[in-house]
Amino acid sequence: MEESEIEKCPLLRVLLFIIVGIYLADYLGRGVSTEVWMLIVLVCSVGFVVLSFCRKLQLAQSLLIFLLAFSVAGWRMCLQQNQLFSTKYDQLDYCQAIVAQEPSIHGKVVRTKLLVLDGQNVGQTFNISILRDRLLEKWRRIHEGDGVIVHALLYDGAFIYKDNWIKASVSLSAVSGLMRLRVYALKLRHKLLLHISNHDYSPSFAIIAAMTLGDKSYLSKEQKNDFSAAGSSHLLALSGLHLSILIGVLLLLFPKNRWQSQLFILLAIWAFVILVGMSASVVRSAIMLSLCMLMHIADRKGFSLNSLSFAAILMLLCNPQSLFDVGFQMSCMAVMGIILLTPNIHNKVGSILLVSLSAQIATLPLTLYYFGQWSCYGIFLSLLVIPLSTIILYGMLGVYLLLPFTVFAQKLYIVVEEMVEILNKVVSFVASLPGAMINHVYISKFQVFLLYVAILSFYMAIKKFVLIKK
């Protein structure tokens, strides 16, 4: 009997044990120390080494691998929790930071993100609000990539008074090479946005900044609501679609079968990931695409669900808190839905519809649980917005490449901007239609579990029917 996609994926089972380990460590909190988790890791490791000399106990070896994954995940989560609890929130502290997002005005405050360069929170990024000063308006002089010195309690959602910060030249000597790259990438992104905007921050520019460079700070609340109601929010979040287009262009420019070309494309992918801010969705997509390219170099074929599982394992072991991130959950479930639920058909229109439908089915329980709303027209709107957004992304890639030739870049940008205006008008029109959004349909965690059981049962029933028919 032919194996299903799930049965072909051993890493999916490892991933499930890692998820259970993270959940259990989070539930137990500081009740179980890191030493206990490390002891479990050592026992499982020694047990696996001992059993590896006995071929007859393969089931026991597999069980120990799963327990090892479970315990390593619990240990990593426990380490993160200890680091969080060791952070002191009872006293003000001076620290150097980099503005990690272009500041935007919200009433009496300016909202942005700060990447901390020293102190107890080094390497962390916080969403913060700064009180606007009416007299000097020094907040107008800070932009993405600038350095600041802050005298405040820093945490996600922190409020900073106008006199508790100052723009300054900050030192990068004490930070890691990766963080330096992130800082330089932030400055480069800001320069690119300045070049294409020419200080004209129109609605079309806001969409372009979000779609191509991952900066959503220019989007208005109305634009975000329209894209959400129309079921097209995924276009504003950098993901596999954007990376696939970049790879497609690079494959046209460089030979496909040379490992040097593949290596250069891999470096270009990760350079782009750093440039756009290393969000969970784009990192997960980059890991998957990198795995696919490495398998191509090694002349091996891999299952995409296995690649997704491996990407999720890497991200969770590096940062176990990612498991509780809504974006991480939604992006992983969307890709899993596309892999499992989308049949192979050659009709392009049908393929777009089925991919969109599969992603929406897979994310439906999470969407209802977190947001309590559902877009009714998103599936059909995909037929128009996905091809249009693809053209826009290709056009903007051309604009960025032609920036040294200002005249040509400006003319191409005008064409792309007109397409973005069409996209914006279509999304706004669909969002204004009656019944575009079903609201206030909140469900419990148990209902989320039941919905996923129903979706999995449907998938297994369809697979069984197909096998019987064959």
Between CA 328 and CA 322 the distance in angstroms is 6
Question: Is 10 within the bounds of a domain?
Answer: yes
Q: Which of 86, 116, 133 is the last residue of a domain?
A: 86
Q: Which of 47, 65, 86 is the last residue of a domain?
A: 86
What is the CATH number for 102? 2.40.50.140
Which of 362, 392, 393, 386 shows the shortest CA–CA distance to 459? 362
Q: Are residues 36 and 124 in the same domain?
A: no
Tens digit of each residue's pLDDT (9 = 90 or more) over 415-437: 999 999 999 999 999 999 888 88
Q: Are residues 216 and 79 in the same domain?
A: no
Tell whether the model's pLDDT for residue 295 goes beyond 90: no
Between CA 179 and CA 293 the distance in angstroms is 26
Q: Which of 54, 86, 118 is the last residue of a domain?
A: 86
Percentage of residues in the chain having pLDDT higher than 70: 90
Question: Is 180 within the bounds of a domain?
Answer: no
Q: Are residues 390 and 253 in the same domain?
A: yes
Between the alpha carbon of residue 296 and those of residues 255, 265, 336, 339, the distances in Å are 13, 13, 21, 19
Q: Are residues 249 and 293 in the same domain?
A: yes
Between CA 198 and CA 425 the distance in angstroms is 23
Is 201 within 8 Å of 218 (Cβ atoms)?
Answer: yes
What is the residue range of 20's domain? 5-86
Tell whether the model's pLDDT for residue 346 goes beyond 70: no
Question: Is 187 within the bounds of a domain?
Answer: no
Question: Is 445 within the bounds of a domain?
Answer: yes
Q: Are residues 262 and 129 in the same domain?
A: no
Q: Are residues 58 and 109 in the same domain?
A: no
Tell whether the model's pLDDT for residue 1 goes beyond 50: no
Q: Are residues 81 and 122 in the same domain?
A: no
Question: Is 188 within the bounds of a domain?
Answer: no
Ranges 49-63, 382-396, 399-413: which has the least confidence: 49-63
Burial class (CB in 10 A: 0-12, 13-18, 19+), 415: middle
Is 241 within 8 Å of 391 (Cβ atoms)?
Answer: no
Question: Nearest-5° angle of CA 162, CA 166, CA 167?
Answer: 130
Chain centre to alpha carbon of residue 349: 27
Tens digit of each residue's pLDDT (9 = 90 or more) over 298-322: 655 554 688 888 888 988 998 898 8
Tens digit of each residue's pLDDT (9 = 90 or more) over 231-273: 888 888 877 777 877 777 777 777 666 777 778 888 888 888 8
Q: Are residues 264 and 388 in the same domain?
A: yes
Total count of residues recorded for the chain: 470
Tell whether the model's pLDDT for residue 85 goes beyond 70: no
| Structure confidence at residue 335 (pLDDT) | 84
Chain centre to alpha carbon of residue 259: 28
* Number of Cβ atoms within 10 Å of the Cβ of 271: 12
Q: Are residues 210 and 353 in the same domain?
A: yes
Q: Are residues 104 and 16 in the same domain?
A: no
Question: Is 182 within the bounds of a domain?
Answer: no
Q: How many distinct structural domains can be found in the chain?
A: 3
Question: Is 449 within the bounds of a domain?
Answer: yes
Between CA 146 and CA 103 the distance in angstroms is 11
The overall average pLDDT reported for the chain is 83
User: Phi, psi (5° rounding) for residue 230?
Assistant: -85, -5
Which of the four pLDDT bands, split at 50, 70 and 90, describes residue 448?
very high
Q: Are residues 385 and 446 in the same domain?
A: yes
Strands 158-160 and 125-131: parallel
Question: Is 183 within the bounds of a domain?
Answer: no
Say what the pTM is.
0.77
Q: Are residues 207 and 302 in the same domain?
A: yes
